[in-house]
Amino acid sequence: MKEFSLDYLRCLKCGSNLELDVFKKKIEIEEGILDCKKCHSLYPIIEGIPIMWNDFSQYISNRRMLGGKIAKTVSSKMKFFLKNSLAVNFKNIEDRTNLEERWTDIYQKSQRSRFYSIIKNMLKKLPHSKLVLEYGCSIGTVSSFLAESNRTVFGIDRSFSAIKIAKKKSGENLDFFVADSQSSIFGETNFDLVLALNLLELIEPMEFLKQISGKIQNGYVIITDPYDYDRGKNSIKNPLDENTLRRNLKNLGFKLIHDTDKPSYISWNLNLNPRATLNYKVDLVVAKK
């Protein structure tokens, strides 16, 4: 974790500033605990990655294989923290480690998709920003590009394996966190640019749009999505299509710009394995408040 990030991070439960207990530090903070002195919430920093989760025990119990791998490399202090966290018994929880590692690999193999070139070209048209946030940043392909021309860039994703790859991206002004996109890890901080690429089918869209709007007073938002809402039992309840997305952004005070007032169909190819490719047609919306 970059030390400057401490100025922005807030406790998820009470919104207070966090204090840092460093276990291991090299160029940046490799291991430690972010501690809320007000409500006593603790957020671990493991392999340079802050895990900003309301209940870390639940997060790691949902990824027990990941917990076992981490325990082999961390300090005795962090091993004790992990052991206590894994001791909590959550019933009927599926281990997400293999799934998240698989999708991390897929995103790494798909970085040359035309989709990313189009997004980067669109970003070049926007003014440079002081503070940028990318929700669902995965392996940091777009976040690292943003760090080349903007002052401070943050990326968040719930996958530890994806953020571990993202952390390898260079940039003193760039930092990544494990967090849920619906959590308020930055408290009341406002951003000049917010990105949410291909996330609407994973989060209740209207709630997410309101959250994004609350993070922007005077700035830009870029949203893309293939509107692939079929997730079985995990499907969201209130999906938005191309037109209702645009209408709701306008209702929240945004103006559509760069000719994105009409739906688009951008190819986003994901290389699943040597014999299979998933080809989405993604819609792009750029708006300013």
What confidence category does residue 59 fall into, taking pLDDT thresholds of 50, 70 and 90?
very high
What's the whole-number mean pLDDT along residues 116-129?
96
What confidence tens digit (pLDDT) does each residue in 160-213 have? 999 999 999 878 999 999 999 999 999 999 999 999 999 999 999 999 999 999
The DSSP secondary structure of 213-243, one letter per residue, reads HHT-SS-EEEEEE------GGG--SS---HH
List the structure tokens of 163.
């953020």
Dist CA 224 CA 213 (whole Å) = 16
Q: Are 195 and 142 in contact (CB under 8 A)?
A: yes
Taking the complete model, does pTM exceed 0.75, yes or no? Answer: yes
* Residue of 133, 147, 124 whose CA lies nearest to 192: 133
Q: Where are the domains of the chain?
A: 3-95, 102-288
- For tokens 């952390």, the residue is 167
What confidence tens digit (pLDDT) does each residue in 61-102 have? 999 999 999 999 999 999 999 999 988 877 778 899 999 999
Res 228 pLDDT > 80:
yes
Q: For the chain, give the mean pLDDT.
A: 95
What's the whole-number mean pLDDT along residues 254-265?
96
Dist CA 31 CA 117 (whole Å) = 35
Amino acid, single-letter form, for residue 31: E
Q: Which CATH superfamily, name and number, covers 102-288? A: Vaccinia Virus protein VP39 (3.40.50.150)
Res 116 pLDDT > 80:
yes
